[in-house]
């Protein structure tokens, strides 16, 4: 047993006491801890300025095994009560009245502090229960708390963890809950303590509130104490319940369909605690907590209503023993999913958890807990006057009425839809999150060094041109030196004699050498020569023998002299020395050429153009990404990985490159590497919706649903903020009052159904029936744009870099553009779909819509081809009608009539089929058949006005009578 450690408490002076009561003259301070009085100060006068000097000291003992243990110090504050002493009257005792209370949090004593000095606010005690305290009071009490030695060593504190649990409220409680002073609403859960012990955390004194205003945000958290004389003294300093969107919570009832129910429940009958209980977990308890969560993610939180005992002290033990055997009324349990705390970096979970009636088998199945705290381990809770069951005078054996009450209580929580809102905090995460520096280092380790790239295209030509420029520059400089020495030689002065020329040459050499200019000119040429050696002759290593070196130098000398003469002759001949011509093609043109070759299925040529883009500028990240996307599309994931890794090498903070490295690592089944890349991307740019969504998809692939859920939630939160900002800017630009938002911009209406599914789940969004219905009414007025979701944004990114090839994704995207009447983009998507070897699930509608776009654009040959493909795939009246229209526009009348006859055979109630048959008959001079077809067209109610006008124009053009007769 360790020795107790004294905790010394000194009450110094008080300030602004007159704000509590202006006539205050004489006061006393009483100090309490853990329900025990530690003493009172002497009577002290309050000075005119509102101060008072108490200079009172007291102490209590801290002992791990005593009443003031570690768990108590973490949970309970020091309580100080300010008492007013009224002036003594004749033959009457002094009247002592509680005036205010203050609390001091002792937690810093466990965090490496030996002396704590605070100015604790004094909260006024109301004159009577319904009175409001003085909100303007600013009184404070100076308190110093100290110990001679640390209560926890630095090692003990750093290896442990501080756990805080806040029970906010139980909402939508059963109607049988009544605001009875004899009823105490409680909740309890157990957490691991040292060794095999369990520490029960009991939340008492829940306040039942009727319908009315919901609880405000933010609002203070309360100490786990009984009622105090000053209600505000229950508030924990600087600790608040801040709430937040339901979608960001970790519990249940977070879907959009739960929103209305929760809003209603928050302003209806509820039990409110707003209480925080803290406990310190040593290293062993932390390990136990982590292993328990891993073994069973759900922890039971029990809920019940208890009656206050009214029996005398002498009977309490006998009656309490008998009461323990009775059934518990309104005994419920909520299952809190703690698995989120095993996600890296997670220190807090908060959410709503449904309450069910307590059933042993169900509790054991979900939590592996074999006992009830309230029923089987009541003795650990120190309930005091609270008791379980009915009145003290009732018998031990439950009677028929009690059994009926139990049965009726069993389902009340479920019927009412009761749920608890809780928050669980840790001082530091159970699983630390990797630091950015560590992730950067891991990324570097994952990317192996790449060999040097081959020389650039046309590099030799460029360095030779550069040599010519340098020679010309040096020659011009030397000529300038000559002119300064001897002046310019004019043409009419005649030829210079040889002797004079030699003398001037000697003087010029002397001047260049003595001034250092010769050395400077030589240095200008040196770099050009080095580049010629590297680029022209590809010499980058030492020569094996001196003979080979000499042979090379001779060859180089001849080459350099020849090109020096070329440059000088060009200069002296008066020709303009133009700069080197620009490359024949730009990187943008090379990309166009690459895509053209790719479209023509010439993959080798496309690859060459992509490589030439990179050779043109090897530090262009986009060139590497484009080539990587090309490799990814054509199933060369290893080559794609090299390209994306090279992009990361160029810029380790380029988020697209990091994400693509993660994606290709998944394709290669290098899952540990993929996690590093995704985690690094999220750490680098925590505001990236795409990064969080891809991370969520990766964790979902790994069956890590908790971390997937958290990643998706973060992405949705960012999307809501983005859409809200877009809406705000739009409203500000319009200068109008706030209007109801469309589904695509309302952050509160982001759906949780089909539109908000990962790419692999989006494939089957549109069923055949739905697509048919859409096809029947393609001209619906003003279709609503599709809702924006995190997965739609991510699919755009994946498709841009060919990271997904499911033709169904392109088909769905095409349908969205089609409904938005963006036919150019729809056509592009549909053409991609039909380019895949594998067909999309709804190819029929892809063919129909692409064919209709081609008809509108008068690309009749393409339309005919597409509609024939549709007929091969799944023939219908509409597919053959498309073939017939295309053939008619191509003036292929026999094929057109055959196709329309097929359409008519499949559905003889289509007015357009009869209309085009009428046109064909008019073209062929078959007036009787044309009239018959036209009558069917009118009878079936053709809605195509353009076709009707065309039929009438044909009738007049070919000189027949009115077909309507």
Q: What is the pLDDT of residues 271-312, one digit of tens each?
A: 999 999 999 999 999 999 999 999 999 999 999 988 765 444
**Helix 705-734 vs helix 790-800: crossing angle, to nearest 10:** 100
Confidence (pLDDT) at 166: 97
For 528-541, what is the mean pLDDT?
A: 77
The answer for residues whose C-beta is within 8 angstroms of residue 212's C-beta and 6 or more apart is 267
Confidence (pLDDT) at 489: 66
The single residue listed with the structure tokens 């509608």 is 845
Largest Cα–Cα distance in the chain?
A: 144
The yes-or-no verdict on residue 731 having pLDDT over 80 is: yes
The answer for residues whose C-beta is within 8 angstroms of residue 681's C-beta and 6 or more apart is 655, 658, 659, 662, 688, 691, 694, 695
**Helix 689-701 vs helix 790-800: crossing angle, to nearest 10:** 90
Judged by average pLDDT, the poorest of 273-277, 400-404, 918-922 is: 400-404
The conformational region for residue 829 under phi > 0 = left, psi -120 to 50 = alpha, else beta, is alpha
Confidence (pLDDT) at 910: 87
What's the pLDDT band for 542 if we cut at 50, 70, 90?
A: confident
Chain segment 167-222, per-residue pLDDT in tens: 999 999 998 888 777 788 999 999 887 666 788 999 999 999 988 889 999 999 99
Chain segment 794-816, per-residue pLDDT in tens: 888 888 887 776 877 778 888 88
The single residue listed with the structure tokens 């649990």 is 165
3-state SS class at 7: strand
The answer for residues whose C-beta is within 8 angstroms of residue 687's C-beta and 6 or more apart is 718
Contact between 169 and 274 (Cβ < 8 Å): yes
Query: Best-predicted range by mean pLDDT among 156-160, 162-166, 763-767, 897-901?
Result: 162-166
Confidence (pLDDT) at 493: 64
State residue 111 phi and psi, 5-degree precision. -110, 30
The yes-or-no verdict on residue 833 having pLDDT over 80 is: yes
3-state SS class at 961: coil
Confidence (pLDDT) at 530: 83
CA nearest to 463, candidates 558, 549, 560: 560
Chain Cα centroid distance, residue 640? 27
Give, in order, the Cα–Cα distances in Å from 815 to each of 745, 786, 927: 20, 10, 41
State pTM to two decimals. 0.67
State residue 298 phi and psi, 5-degree precision. -90, 135
Give dist(CA 144, CA 55) in Å, integer.
Answer: 11
As beta bridge partners, residue 275 has 167, 222
* Mean pLDDT, the chain, whole residue set: 82
Chain Cα centroid distance, residue 933? 61
Give dist(CA 786, CA 499) in Å, integer.
Answer: 92
Confidence (pLDDT) at 847: 92
In order, the DSSP letters of 736-796 are: ----PPPTTT-GGG--SSGGGS-HHHHTTSS-HHHHHHHHH-TT-SSPPPPPP-HHHHHHH
Chain Cα centroid distance, residue 854? 41
The yes-or-no verdict on residue 785 having pLDDT over 70 is: no
The single residue listed with the structure tokens 């949970």 is 75
CA nearest to 51, candidates 99, 12, 14: 14
The yes-or-no verdict on residue 245 having pLDDT over 70 is: yes
For 310-319, what is the mean pLDDT?
A: 43
Give dist(CA 248, CA 710) in Å, integer.
Answer: 9
Query: Which two tokens mark 109?
Result: 């004593």
Contact between 667 and 636 (Cβ < 8 Å): no
Chain Cα centroid distance, residue 12? 50
Task: Provide the 8-state DSSP code for 958.
Answer: T
By the 10 Å C-beta count (0-12 exposed, 13-18 middle, 19+ buried), 76 is classed as buried
Q: Around Cβ 924, how many Cβ atoms within 10 Å?
A: 14
What's the pLDDT band for 746 if we cut at 50, 70, 90?
A: very low
């Amino acid at each position: 047993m360790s020795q107790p450690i004294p905790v010394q408490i000194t009450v110094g002076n008080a300030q602004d006491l007159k704000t509590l009561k202006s006539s205050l003259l004489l006061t006393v301070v009483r100090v309490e801890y853990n329900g025990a009085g530690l003493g009172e100060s002497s009577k002290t006068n309050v000075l005119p300025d509102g101060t008072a000097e108490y200079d009172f000291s007291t102490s209590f003992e801290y002992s791990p095994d005593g009443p003031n243990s570690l768990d108590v110090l973490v949970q309970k504050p020091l309580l100080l009560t300010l008492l007013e002493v009224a002036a003594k009257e004749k033959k009457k005792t002094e009247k002592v009245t509680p005036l205010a209370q203050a609390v001091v949090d002792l937690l810093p004593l466990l965090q490496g502090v030996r002396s704590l000095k605070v100015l604790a606010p004094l909260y006024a005690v109301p004159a009577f229960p319904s009175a409001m305290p003085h909100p303007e009071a600013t009184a404070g009490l100076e308190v110093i708390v100290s110990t001679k030695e640390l209560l926890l060593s630095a090692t003990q504190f750093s290896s442990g963890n501080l756990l805080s649990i806040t029970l906010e409220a139980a909402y939508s409680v059963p109607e049988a809950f009544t605001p009875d002073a004899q009823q105490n609403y409680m909740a309890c859960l157990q957490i691991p303590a040292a060794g095999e012990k369990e520490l029960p955390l009991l939340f008492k004194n829940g306040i039942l509130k009727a319908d009315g205003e919901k609880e405000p945000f933010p609002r203070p958290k309360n100490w786990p104490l009984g009622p105090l004389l000053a209600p505000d003294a229950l508030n924990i300093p600087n600790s608040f319940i801040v709430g937040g969107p339901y979608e960001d919570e970790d519990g249940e009832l977070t879907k959009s369909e739960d929103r209305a129910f929760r809003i209603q429940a928050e302003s209806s009958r509820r039990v409110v605690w707003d209480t925080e209980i803290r406990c310190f977990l040593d290293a062993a308890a932390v390990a136990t907590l982590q292993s328990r969560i891993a073994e069973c993610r759900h922890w039971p939180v029990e809920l019940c209503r208890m009656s206050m005992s009214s029996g005398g002290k002498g009977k309490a033990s006998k009656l309490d023993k008998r009461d323990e055997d009775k059934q518990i009324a309104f005994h419920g349990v909520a299952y809190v999913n703690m698995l989120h705390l095993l996600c890296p970096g997670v220190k807090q979970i908060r959410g709503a958890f449904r309450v069910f009636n307590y059933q042993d088998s169900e509790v054991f199945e979900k939590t592996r807990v074999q006992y009830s705290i309230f029923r089987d381990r009541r003795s650990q809770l120190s309930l005091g006057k609270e008791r379980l069951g009915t009145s003290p005078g009732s018998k031990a054996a439950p009677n028929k009425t009690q059994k009926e009450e139990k049965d009726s209580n069993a389902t009340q929580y479920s019927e009412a839809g009761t749920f608890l809102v809780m928050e669980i905090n840790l001082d530091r995460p159970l699983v630390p999150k990797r630091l950015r520096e560590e992730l950067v280092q891991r990324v570097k380790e994952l990317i192996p060094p790449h060999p040097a790239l081959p020389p650039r295209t046309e590099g030799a030509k460029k360095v030779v041109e550069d040599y010519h420029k340098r020679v010309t520059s040096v020659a011009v400089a030397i000529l300038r030196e000559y002119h300064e020495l001897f002046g310019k030689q004019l043409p009419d002065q005649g030829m210079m004699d040889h002797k004079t020329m030699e003398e001037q040459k000697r003087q010029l050499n002397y001047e260049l050498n003595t001034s250092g200019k010769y050395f400077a000119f030589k240095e200008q040429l040196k770099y050009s020569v080095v580049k010629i050696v590297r680029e022209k002759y590809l010499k980058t290593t030492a020569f094996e023998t001196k003979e080979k070196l000499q042979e090379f130098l001779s060859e180089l000398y001849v080459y350099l002299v020849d090109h020096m003469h070329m440059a000088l002759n060009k200069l002296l001949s008066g020709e303009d020395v133009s700069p080197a011509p620009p490359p024949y093609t730009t990187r943008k043109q090379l990309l166009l050429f690459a895509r053209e070759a790719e479209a023509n299925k010439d993959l080798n040529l496309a690859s060459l153009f992509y490589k030439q883009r990179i050779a043109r500028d090897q530090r262009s990240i986009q060139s590497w990404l484009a080539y990587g996307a090309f490799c990814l599309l054509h199933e060369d994931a290893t080559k794609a990985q090299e390209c994306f890794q090279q992009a990361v090498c160029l810029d380790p903070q380029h988020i697209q490159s990091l994400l693509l490295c993660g994606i290709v690592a998944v394709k290669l089944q290098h899952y540990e590497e993929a996690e590093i890349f995704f985690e690094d991307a999220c750490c680098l740019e925590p505001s990236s919706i795409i990064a969080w969504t891809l991370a969520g998809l990766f964790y979902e692939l790994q069956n890590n649903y908790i971390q997937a859920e958290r990643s998706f939630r973060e992405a949705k939160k960012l999307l809501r903020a983005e859409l809200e900002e877009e809406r705000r800017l739009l409203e500000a630009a319009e200068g109008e009052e706030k209007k109801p938002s469309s589904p695509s911009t309302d952050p509160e209406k982001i759906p949780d159904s089909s539109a908000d599914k990962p790419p692999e789940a989006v494939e089957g969004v549109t069923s055949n029936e739905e697509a048919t219905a859409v096809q029947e009414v393609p001209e619906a007025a003003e279709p609503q744009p599709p809702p924006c979701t995190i997965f739609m944004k991510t699919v755009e990114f994946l498709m841009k870099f060919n990271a997904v090839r499911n033709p169904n994704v392109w088909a769905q995207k095409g349908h969205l553009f089609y409904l938005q009447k963006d036919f150019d983009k729809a056509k592009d998507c549909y053409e991609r779909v039909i380019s895949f070897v594998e067909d999309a699930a709804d190819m029929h509608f892809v063919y129909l819509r692409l064919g209709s776009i081609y008809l509108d654009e008068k690309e009749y040959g393409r339309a005919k081809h597409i509609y024939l493909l549709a007929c091969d795939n799944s023939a219908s009246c509409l597919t053959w009608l498309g073939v017939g229209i295309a053939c008619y526009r191509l003036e292929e009348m026999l094929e057109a009539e055959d196709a329309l006859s097929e359409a008519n055979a499949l559905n003889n109630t289509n007015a357009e089929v009869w209309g085009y048959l009428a046109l064909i008959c008019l073209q062929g001079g078959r007036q009787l058949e044309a009239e018959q077809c036209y009558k069917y067209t009118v009878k079936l109610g053709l809605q195509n006005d353009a076709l009707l006008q065309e039929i009438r124009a044909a009738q007049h053009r070919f000189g027949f009578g009115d077909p309507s007769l």
